[in-house]
């Protein structure tokens, strides 16, 4: 494709997708065995290796829904990837969440109504089970996916009154593409900013410290491979 130089078969059936290419590189170097760079078009790095003897890939999605829309679409349709797990950062808009702990995208389908993108239940169930085994405290709930980072008008915090946990910029596009392709998708995110208190992690901490989230996503990849066997 214009955005991916990997050969057919270069990606595993499950791909972890952080937004940041440097985080993709970090995951490949610190969590995968025998990781090989399979794509570097525009510096959006993709790697394939193994985790607990299970083939797993990791590739950056870039920032925002248009970028996620391109890369996840090509992985699902061109490279026959079955599962994409977004491993990213979110800004908390709920008092339940501490540090570390609306888009036009669906209109392209021409539906007579509003499509509500949601996570795949099988991936979600697997992630919750893995979190319990690992002793990782998690919160399961809705995210607000926004096209705008520097928002001038809308009060993002108002979504918290509807039980929305956090805001980010990619998951809705990923869920839409997965639904259209008949594939599976899940967002597993770590709080990097708290919009209620103003607390935030540094750029370096965002790149290298989300280890629990990464391990959790990798355990889901192992579970999905076992289900296919």
Residues carrying an active site annotation: 193
Alpha helices in the chain (DSSP H): 21-31, 65-77, 121-134, 171-181, 203-208, 211-228
Close Cβ partners of 82 (under 8 Å, ≥ 6 residues apart): 13, 14, 183, 184, 224, 228
Read off the tokens for 120: 């795949």
Collapsing DSSP to helix, strand or coil, 28 comes out as helix
Close Cβ partners of 56 (under 8 Å, ≥ 6 residues apart): 12, 14, 15, 16, 32, 48, 49, 50, 218, 221
Beta bridge partners of 86: 17, 187
Query: What kind and span of H or E run contains 185?
Result: strand 184-194
Residue 38: which region, alpha, beta or left (left: phi > 0; alpha: psi -120 to 50)? alpha
CA neighbor of 58 nearest in space, from 35, 89, 77: 35
């Amino acid at each position: 494709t214009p955005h991916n130089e990997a050969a057919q078969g270069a990606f595993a059936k499950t791909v972890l997708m952080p937004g940041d290419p440097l985080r993709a590189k970090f995951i490949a170097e610190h969590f995968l065995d025998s990781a090989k760079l399979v794509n570097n078009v525009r510096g959006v790095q993709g790697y394939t290796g193994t985790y607990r003897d299970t083939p797993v890939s990791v590739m950056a999605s870039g920032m925002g829904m248009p970028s996620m829309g391109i890369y996840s679409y090509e992985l699902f349709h061109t490279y026959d990837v079955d599962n994409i797990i977004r491993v990213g950062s979110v800004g908390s808009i709920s008092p339940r969440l501490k540090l570390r702990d609306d888009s036009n995208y669906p209109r392209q389908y021409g539906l007579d109504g509003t499509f509500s993108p949601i996570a795949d239940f099988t991936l979600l169930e697997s992630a919750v089970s893995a979190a319990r085994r690992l002793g990782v405290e998690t919160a399961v709930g809705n995210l607000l996916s926004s096209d705008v980072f520097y928002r001038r008008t809308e009060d993002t915090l108002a979504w918290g009154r509807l039980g929305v946990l956090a805001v980010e910029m990619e998951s809705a596009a990923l869920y839409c593409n997965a639904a259209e392709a008949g594939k599976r998708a899940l967002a597993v995110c770590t709080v990097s900013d708290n919009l209620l208190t103003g607390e935030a992690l540094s750029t370096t901490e965002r790149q290298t410290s989300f280890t629990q989230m990464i391990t959790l996503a990798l355990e889901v990849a192992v579970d999905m491979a076992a289900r296919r066997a």
